[in-house]
Structure formats: C-alpha cells, structure tokens
Structure 1
Amino acid sequence: MSTTVAGLSRRTLSALLWGAVGFMAFLVLVQGYALVVEPLVSIGQGVAVAGLVGGMTAGSAYVLEHRLAVWSARRAMDETASHGGDDKSKS
C-alpha cells in the first residue's frame, strides 16, 4: 500500500478530505440560512453538528469509495464489452 502525507494511505487521506468538504459545506449552508432567514443554531452548535457531518462523510467515503470505484470499473468494462470492445482484429 502506498503512503502519502504523514504515512496515511491514499484511501484514508481521500476520506479525510471528503470529511473536510462535508464539514465546510454544512457550515456554509448554516451561514447562508442565517443570512437569508435567521440564525438556525448557535456557532458552537453549528460547529458540533458540522463535526458530526464531517465525520459521517469521512466514514462513508472510506467505506464506499473503494466499492464505487470497483463498481464503476466493472460497469465500464461491461459497456466496452457490450459495444464490441477494443478488439482490433476485426478491423
């Protein structure tokens, strides 16, 4: 398994980055709601919920990313095979 920053695997680093995206996206949505309507939660509550959202996003990404990549690769192979593939012997 290849390592990257601080000895983390690429899969772990990717999951942590997705968690950061989930964390920040939730905070942006809460702030946007506060600007348009009224504050939905306090800053502390927003950070706590964003932490939960970020953690769940990171966990989901870690579990599902590999499975989605395998599924996508299999689907691409099936589509290539169903369209005649890349067989150059037919040309």
Structure 2
Amino acid sequence: MPSPISLRPRVKSALLWGAVGFMAFLVLVQGYALVVEPLVSITQGAGIALLVAAGTAAGAYVLEHRIAAWSAQRAVSETNSHNDAD
C-alpha cells in the first residue's frame, strides 16, 4: 500500500495558512457583495483569492519560525523576571 505524501510540518502549516487566506478573502468578497454590490466576478475573485493564498502561505513559511522563536524567548524572559521578583 503506497504511503501518503508526507510534508514537513513547516510546509504543511504554510499551506494550511494559505487555505485560510484563500477562504477568508472569498468570504469577505461574498459578504461585500451581499451588503453593497459585487466588486468582482466569481472568476476574478477566485484569481485574487489564489494570489492571497500564495502570499499568505509564503508569509507564513518565512515568518512562522521567527515568530515562534520570538515568542519562546519572550516567555523565558518573562518567567525569569517573575522568578527574580520573588
């Protein structure tokens, strides 16, 4: 039985964030169309959503590990500052 395609966690996370960006953009365009008027056609909206997805995925891939490292460093420094206050 062939094994499913295995992606590195960082790539999988970036692709999932891209999917979130894709769907969020489509929801916003649809909401605007319901309230005011359509800004773009369905085809144009899907094309722009693909660009948003690519940008979101690229941003997540580039920034995610940096944000995680910053967050971990901040948590350690806050823990140390709380321990020093005792």
**TM-score (ref. length: structure 2):** 0.91
Structure 1: tracts of 5 or more residues without a match = none
Pairwise CA distance, 1:6: 1.4
Instruction: After superposition, give the CA deviation of every residue in 1:40-86 in whole Å (9 maximum; x if it has no partner).
Output: 0001100000000000000000010000000000000000011117x
Structure 2: tracts of 5 or more residues without a match = none
Counterpart code for 1:57? T
- Distance in 2 of aligned mates of 1:83 and 1:37: 51
Which structure has more relative contact order (CA 8 Å, sep 6+)? It is: 2
Pairwise CA distance, 1:7: 1.7
Matches within 5 A, 1:59-78: 59-78=58-77
Q: Once superposed, what is the RMSD of the aligned Cα atoms?
A: 1.4
SS in 2 for 1:84: helix
Pairwise CA distance, 1:19: 0.1
Does 2:39 align with 1:53?
A: no
